[in-house]
Amino acid sequence: MLTGGEMHALVERLYPLCRSITGDGVRQTLAIVGEHLGLQVHEVPTGTQVLDWTVPQEWNIRDAFVADASGRRVIDFRASNLHVVGYSVPVDETMSLAELRGRLHTLPESPSWVPYRTSYYSPTWGFCVAQDVLDALPEGDYHVKIDSTLADGSLTYGEHVVPGEVSDEVIVSCHVCHPSLANDNLAGIAVAVSLAQQLAEEKPHFTYRFLFMPGTIGAITWLARNAEHVDRVKHGVVLACAGDRGSLTYKQSRRGDADIDRVMAHVLKDKPHEIREFSPYGYDERQFCSPGFNLGVGSLTRTPYAGYPEYHTSADNPAFVSPEAMEDTLDTLQTAFAVLERNRRYVNLSPYGEPQLGKRGLYDSLGGRSDAKEAQLAMLWVLSYSDGEHSLLDIAERAGLPFGAVATAAQALQVAGLLKE
């Protein structure tokens, strides 16, 4: 399992790659992820119908610049891949600064930052530049070149599966379509890699499927190709913005009361957090939660979508994310999945009156424990509500007890012959 420092190092390694919704940058990213996880990489050809969408042409870029009359690059793709509008068509022209201005995107409110812009489905071209740089450009002619290709190819995504005792699945999805943006979503990729490694060491109950896909079109493609088996997905989390220093934010599934929604609320209650209701805007939870699928998939971020000034700018760099924040995101997911793993329903095998716990050694086992009272209460609550209708999470919420205490009590009672799953 990657440590916080190792997750941050992975972010730094992935950061320079020019990713988009298709192309070699995605393949290079998946190749690096594949050094840590066994990854099945899928290539879906241009033109493939996926639900109401069509897989687009593949975009790749080799170089791009705006050069002044002396040949000096005043805007340079080699310095930052954010300088080119994603999916820009090829161009090789000379034009005046006045003509060029209409193709330049800036952030006047943050004049030293370069914005991130794309135009996936409307062929055009453009550059992104710091307002300070644009303000310093003299009038005159400029050589403008984008050495890119937009041609039939494929959409690329990767899957890693951690087998479980059952075929019911938990999915963890993160997008791999952003170029040099560290928090959105390289930190999510790094946390997902570490989480998958940790789960593989534990031989989990559920099967865990990790999806590394371009945003929107990637999730739609995966859903189209797996529509017949999507009922196996019982829980899921879309992971993004996983490394900034803000507190955690969980966005509920469209259902609002899916198991993952309740588990995340239970896990987050003891730390600073925000829980938001579902809205059809954000990351790929909106695809998994679309009415036809309506899966129990929420979204976990730190500062949420578009909620921090650095979002979709050059300021979202490796210095913006911290090992400690990624570790906290990882720990939260580990804790949540541990609840999912242990959240079962039981039947009290001695339901007529309170069974005598002392003669079964259950009280003796608590002697000297600092949490003896809590453990005893947990046993009584589990016995009272183990009627086949209430899950352990139901009991923990009803009793106001930590889930771990309730699950431990259930295990002890089962060993003593008082409960049956």
Written as six digits, the tokens of 139 are 């009038």
Written as six digits, the tokens of 211 are 């999806």
Could you give the CA distance from residue 73 to residue 79 in angstroms, rounded to a whole number?
10
403-415 and 392-399 helices cross at what angle (nearest 10)?
120
Binding site, by residue number, is 178, 184, 312
By DSSP bridging, strand 273-276 and strand 248-251 are parallel
Using the structure block, give the residue that is written with the tokens 């004049």.
Answer: 111
Peptide bond into 185 cis (omega under 30): yes
Could you give the CA distance from residue 92 to residue 152 in angstroms, rounded to a whole number?
22
Which phi and psi (to 5°) does residue 418 adopt?
A: -100, -10
Binding site for Zn(2+), by residue number, is 178, 184, 312
**Under a CB-based contact definition with an 8 Å cutoff, are residues 23 and 155 in contact?**
no
* Closest of 65, 2, 14, 4 to residue 325, by C-alpha: 4
Residues 164-203 as b or e (16 or more Cβ within 10 Å = b): beeeebbbbbbbbbbbbbbbbbbbbbbbbbbbbebbbeee
Residues 6+ apart with CB under 8 A from 135: 111
- Look at residue 251 and give its three-state secondary structure: strand
CB atoms within 10 A of CB 57: 17
**Under a CB-based contact definition with an 8 Å cutoff, are residues 315 and 309 in contact?**
yes
Written as six digits, the tokens of 419 are 């409960």
Could you give the CA distance from residue 281 to residue 76 in angstroms, rounded to a whole number?
33
CB atoms within 10 A of CB 120: 17
By DSSP bridging, strand 345-348 and strand 387-391 are antiparallel
Give 54's strand partners: 49
Judged by phi (left if over 0) then psi (alpha if -120 to 50, else beta), residue 314 lies in alpha
